[in-house]
């Protein structure tokens, strides 16, 4: 049963979330043994997607901490970078069934970046994201699972770097990259 102070904390968190462009939803589970019983998730109001950092279901204390982190960051591109790194970190859990090669390549840099979400600065996070982007690509079997998340991190990083007045990293030479996958035949004249 929720106490009055818990209810007031929940209402306060809802108001803060709304001001930041999120919606706070409480799990509807009524079974106290369920893993999401009494937990919350933050939903991005613009895209109607889960925006919780550290997992889809959070305790009220975790929600308050996450809103604190997001409130401390005023720049939308920094928030986007934080969320992209959090999604990638959640997808790299050992239970995800990823290829060990992918885990070996990405686990260190992603863990270092995820550890900065609560304590580090966005500049520190940007350095770690640069290390993530410098790792070799995921194993072929994991491209569909991890590839879009890496693309999201790359896009968020480019937007963040551009907003900070830095030149973004150069994109790969598309024709050269495509020639690795598609054998181009010379046109006959």
Mean pLDDT of 140-149: 86
Mean pLDDT of 94-100: 73
pLDDT recorded at residue 189: 45
10: confidence class by pLDDT, cuts 50, 70, 90 = very high
Which residues have CB under 8 Å from 153's CB, separation 6+? 81, 84, 85, 88, 129, 132, 133
pLDDT recorded at residue 150: 92
Per-domain boundaries in the chain: 1-72, 73-166
Secondary structure element (H or E) that encloses residue 128, with its range: helix 122-134
Nearest-5° Cα angle at 170, 137 to 187: 80
In the chain, the percentage of residues whose pLDDT exceeds 70 is 81
pLDDT exceeds cutoff 70 at 97: yes
**Secondary structure E strands in the chain:** 22-26, 40-44, 49-50
Look over the chain and give the mean of its residue pLDDT values, rounded to a whole number.
79
d(CA 155, CA 171): 11
Q: Which residue carries 């907003």 as its tokens?
A: 163
Mean pLDDT of 117-126: 80
Count CB atoms within 10 A of the CB of residue 161.
18
In the chain, the percentage of residues whose pLDDT exceeds 90 is 16
Tokens describing residue 182: 């598609």
pLDDT recorded at residue 15: 92
pLDDT recorded at residue 172: 42
92: confidence class by pLDDT, cuts 50, 70, 90 = confident
pLDDT recorded at residue 2: 66
Mean pLDDT of 99-118: 85
Tens digits of residue pLDDT in 148-180: 889 999 999 999 888 887 655 444 443 443 343
pLDDT recorded at residue 118: 66
| Contacts within 8 Å (CB) and 24+ apart, 13-18 | 13/40, 13/60, 13/63, 13/64, 13/67, 16/67, 16/71, 17/42, 17/63, 17/67, 18/45
Better-scored residue on pLDDT, 87 or 128: 128
Compute the residue count for the chain.
Answer: 189
């Amino acid at each position: 049963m929720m106490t009055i102070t818990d209810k007031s904390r929940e209402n306060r968190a809802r108001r803060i979330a709304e001001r930041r462009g999120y919606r706070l939803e409480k799990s509807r589970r009524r079974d106290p043994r369920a893993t999401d019983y009494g937990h919350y998730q933050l939903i991005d109001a613009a895209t109607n997607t889960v925006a919780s950092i550290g997992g889809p279901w959070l305790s009220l204390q975790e929600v308050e901490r996450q809103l604190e982190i997001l409130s401390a960051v005023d720049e939308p591109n920094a928030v986007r970078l934080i969320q992209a790194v959090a999604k990638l970190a959640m997808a790299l859990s050992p239970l995800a069934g990823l290829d060990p090669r992918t885990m070996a390549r990405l686990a260190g840099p992603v863990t270092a970046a995820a550890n900065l979400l609560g304590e580090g600065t966005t500049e520190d996070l940007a350095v770690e994201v640069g290390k993530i982007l410098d790792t070799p690509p995921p194993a072929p079997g994991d491209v569909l699972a991890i590839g879009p998340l890496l693309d999201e991190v790359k896009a968020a990083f480019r937007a963040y770097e551009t907003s900070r007045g830095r030149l973004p990293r150069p994109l790969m030479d598309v024709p050269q990259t495509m020639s690795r996958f598609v054998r181009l035949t010379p046109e006959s004249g």
